[in-house]
Amino acid sequence: MTDHRRSATLTVRNATVEDVPAILELQDRAYPDMPPDLPGQIRGQIQAFPDGQFVVEYEGDVVGWCATFIIDEATAFAPHTYAEITGNGYAARHDDDGDWLYGMEVAVDPSRRRLRIGQRLYNARKSLCQEWGLKGVVFGGRMPGLKRRRKSYPNPEDYLAAVQAREVKDPVANFQLRMGFEPAGILKAYYPDDKDSLGNAALMVWRNPKYVEVSNNGRRPDPQTVRVAAVQFQARAVDSVREFERNVEYFVDVCSDYKADFCVFPEMFTVALLSLEKKKLTPQESIEALTRHTPRFLEFMSKLAVRYNINIVGGSHPTKTDDGDIQNVAYIFLRDGSIHSQEKIHPTPNEKYWWNIKGGDFVHAIPTDCGPVGVLICYDMEFPELARRMADEGARIIFCPYATDDRTSHLRVRYCSHARAIENQVFVVTAGNVGNLPDVENMDINYAESAVITPCDFPFARDGLAAVASESVETVAVADLRVDDLTEARRSGTVRNLRDRRFDLYRIVWSEPSDR
């Protein structure tokens, strides 16, 4: 009888955002006594440097994982902590123009130790280092035997020297030495949660034997330009859902004709559908009525994105959750047919009082064919922590659908959008409503000057404005955004807000349950 048994398959590949749940489960198995990363941190690593994140897959299961990024030599070899060097675990300090590959983390399934998973991951790092023409690989390595031997070796330097002299064995340091890494010193208080290493780490170095010093190694990608179109949409009464859809499709068609990559609609632009109601509704009845349009709205907008080959930030639309609450949700319709969502985290006092809108509990960058992007709905733009989270996850463009009734309200959104663009060295695209809906409670009048906002530095537009729509007129503001200008500004701009953060003094701590 012929033996049809199938050979086991093991592959090493780049990690994707779809791997995040499996990576978190692997971390729990590999390091049960240390806190796992937040999902947003893994997404940030992948989106900051996709080439540098690896998983090992065995028979369809993720059994190994490692994260890396590129950093300049001075930073890599200066005293640092894990939080400082990694940007609080997001790989936020990744620098395409750096010269060393920095190893953030490695995890191996403890039940699959005989598959040489760690060796494969370390070799993947070395290969990546050589492909990018970097000087070598450096990282803070654990010393889990230190705690047990601290009486004999009260100083971590003495313990590391004993390991190097083969006087004692350390399961991690010995493996790294066998992989060709050499210690270059001790990093004190590197990772306080690593109790076995007493918070310390060995600065381990592997030097690329193929490295050649050149003035310009050509690693930087070709300049990437993303064309964005902010639709300043007029609220108007309609006689049917189809009439509203024709109005929306018109602007999607216009933006597509301009070959825009993104078409952005305002917050709550679907309130025009309330003009279909037979009687005047109370504010809470109005929001409840709008939620009934959600299934058709999602299907219609997704089809538009595919048909017109454009990514659509569908403003926001009130949506009823499984537990009966109503949230203000931005839907992002990508041209590949996928749909993403971003809840409004901070409803305004009016939204809470009149519409009983509840705040969401997650923010994340959204992967698109133009790179990661973020969406913050109106009032959320006035809370700097949210934009910083998205920037740390790799977002270079943040879209802000908004709805404001007067100029003072509009200016709060505008000025905060400028601040977020400068703080995070990102582009911000705002899109607001204009026009009036006399019979809709709490949405009577609208004021907007939609804009495409840039950081304020030499590569960018004068006054930090790449495009501005005319005041309270239905129109479209279009601009080309050079994403590589952000990279250059972050690396060597007049100010370098992301790079110059004091990770040794402060950090944002996100609630894990809301991020899972």
Residues with a known catalytic role: 267, 344, 378
By three-state DSSP, how is residue 330 classified? strand
Whole-angstrom Cα distance, residue 442 to residue 444? 6
Q: 96: which 2 tokens?
A: 């395409």
Helix, strand, coil tally for the chain in percent (to 5): 35, 25, 40
Report how far apart, in Å, the C-alpha atoms of 384 and of each of 152, 239, 260, 276, 387 are: 48, 41, 28, 38, 6
For the chain, the C-alpha Rg in angstroms (whole number) is 26
d(CA 455, CA 427): 7
165 exposed, middle or buried (CB, 10 Å; 0-12, 13-18, 19+)? exposed
Residues near 1 by Cβ (< 8 Å), separated by ≥ 6?
A: none
Which of 38, 34, 44 has the alpha carbon at shortest distance from 69?
44
Of 147, 145, 515, 173, the residue nearest 365 (C-alpha): 515
Q: Give dist(CA 436, CA 441) in Å, integer.
A: 11
Beta bridge partners of 433: 233
Quickly list DSSP for 112-181: GGGG-HHHHHHHHHHHHHHHTT-SEEEEEE--TTTTTTTTT--SHHHHHHHHHTTSS--HHHHHHHHTT-
- The CA distance from 216 to 486, in Å, is 19
**Residue 152 burial class via C-beta count within 10 angstroms: exposed 0-12, middle 13-18, buried 19 and up:** exposed
Q: Exposed, middle or buried, 216 (CB in 10 Å: 0-12/13-18/19+)?
A: exposed
Distances (CA, A) of 275 to 38, 239, 436: 43, 7, 12
Cα dist from 319 to 68, 152, 174, 235, 433, whole Å? 39, 62, 55, 19, 19
**Quick one: tokens of 356?**
């009983």
Residue with tokens 């009036």: 436
Q: How far is the CA of 261 from the CAs of 22, 304, 390, 467, 481, in angstroms? A: 31, 13, 20, 16, 11
Rounded CA-CA distance 234/239 in Å is: 15
DSSP collapsed to 3 states, 422-442: HHHCCEEEEEEEEEECCCCCC
- Which H or E run includes 325? none
